[in-house]
Structure 1
């Protein structure tokens, strides 16, 4: 029982990274621990096994020239696909400084991941490197903003706006990076909320660029809701919180921004308000993706999140 509790605790620590890094990893992890793999899982596992074999060959010079840097890259790609042996092997390279700078922190992360998937040697190695402490090798980091926004240019979109709104849009894009929010998502919210009007006031007394009601402005320490920078920072802080609360689900975060997270919880999905449904559809059409990286340390997730995710997907697909 104690061993199972420790494993569950490690998974809670690793889960935010696993989700942000890619669905394949978390799906493979669940399949290996909890039951038979589905066809997509088998395909992912087969790709990971091929990459692992290539990595071993390059690490030891078996049939190819010995190349530890290439081996590490292949191990890393297999690890992203959920292969425990690849996680262990890459961790070993970091632990021993073989072809990579020595890092017990990176090694500890990889050994913890592999141990969660049942790799016995990785569990033993954790005694030498310590527990997962949050340090993740660069090759395993979530996709960069450039990758997430491939084919989309903030500046080209800004140039199409009316001149008085362009400076506001650039402020939104600049501050979004400070809050680890996709500029595309931040701009979608700001455009939908107020059309980038810093003095906008709604019938419900929502104010400024990001349309903050007084309670939200106070909650996120906005002193002057009609100051564009102060307002945008408050709106981004709230959006960052919503992304953490709904674990990166953009549809649910957008619905929460429009109707409040309480309404999303209460209806277990996007509330059936015509305004909110249209709002979410507009945001998703602009950002063209459903998931966003998030910081799990900001807040605990919604207590009804598993059901919310299923409902949210059905509503968007319908």
Structure 2
């Protein structure tokens, strides 16, 4: 906890952003610089410099909740780790069509989040293939977060919203998926968190590989 005695919100999950208060969700002007005030257990507290005692916004400390329960992901070489090219194809393709996404991107995010473990549950409560926190799952209409179809549909919908919000920039959408859209807006780009930058790189590497694999399959 912070030494200042401030009350800080619980850490966020990779996808599940705890709804901010109306005041905390206000756009941050370029003049109101964002400062990492202090580390908390499982996250960092981020405040506008001019308003350090109000509306703390806690960002997760780790690249993905899946890494907490699956340390092997931290050791993975994303350029060579085996791909999941056939798993949940029906669910991924259906969600990709519904939200006009590249199936390879959905597959890359699932791989980055849970390594295709439908039963994944992080210590922070993120669940399923796309690691949805309970509040986010409810907001997306996902009643059974460990159900692959519901989880993929909800996660794909959120991913599509982030792409629309950030003009189809995959790096910014991935950063928002990991750290929250408010952080991306505040920094006008990928937030300077090592874990978020690593997550963005991970998704981009996996996206390239899944696109390449799909192309090779198409060519026969």
* Short-chain TM bin: 0.5 to 0.7
Residue number in structure 2 paired with 1:242: 162
Q: Quote the Cα distance in structure 2 between the aligned partners of 1:252 and 1:260.
A: 10
Which is richer in helix?
A: 1
Q: 1:225 to 1:267 in 2, by over 3 A?
A: same
Q: Quote the Cα distance in structure 2 between the aligned partners of 1:192 and 1:170.
A: 19
Larger radius of gyration: 1
Alpha-carbon deviation of 1:170? Answer: 4.5
Deviation per CA, 1:237-293: give whole Å up to 9, x if none: 1011101111111100000011111111122211122221111011122334xxxxx
Alpha-carbon deviation of 1:169? Answer: 4.5
Residue number in structure 1 paired with 2:73: none
Q: Quote the Cα distance in structure 2 between the aligned partners of 1:210 and 1:194.
A: 7
For structure 1, which runs of at least 5 residues remain unmatched after alignment?
1-159, 289-318
Q: Quote the Cα distance in structure 2 between the aligned partners of 1:274 and 1:169.
A: 32
Residue number in structure 2 paired with 1:263: 183
Q: Quote the Cα distance in structure 2 between the aligned partners of 1:161 and 1:182.
A: 16
Aligned ranges for residues 298-317 of structure 1 at < 5 Å?
A: none
| Partner secondary structure for residue 145 of structure 2 | coil
Residue number in structure 2 paired with 1:217: 137
Residue number in structure 1 paired with 2:149: 229
Residue number in structure 1 paired with 2:66: none
State the 4+ residue runs in structure 1 displaced beyond 4 angstroms.
none
The answer to whether the 8 Å contact 1:176/1:236 transfers is: yes
Aligned ranges for residues 62-101 of structure 1 at < 5 Å?
A: none
Residue number in structure 1 paired with 2:109: 189
The answer to whether the 8 Å contact 1:252/1:270 transfers is: yes
| Pairwise CA RMSD | 2.1
Structure-1-length-normalised TM-score: 0.38
For structure 2, which runs of at least 5 residues remain unmatched after alignment?
1-81, 209-220
How many residues in Structure 1 have an aligned counterpart in Structure 2? 128
Q: Quote the Cα distance in structure 2 between the aligned partners of 1:273 and 1:201.
A: 23
Q: Quote the Cα distance in structure 2 between the aligned partners of 1:214 and 1:188.
A: 22
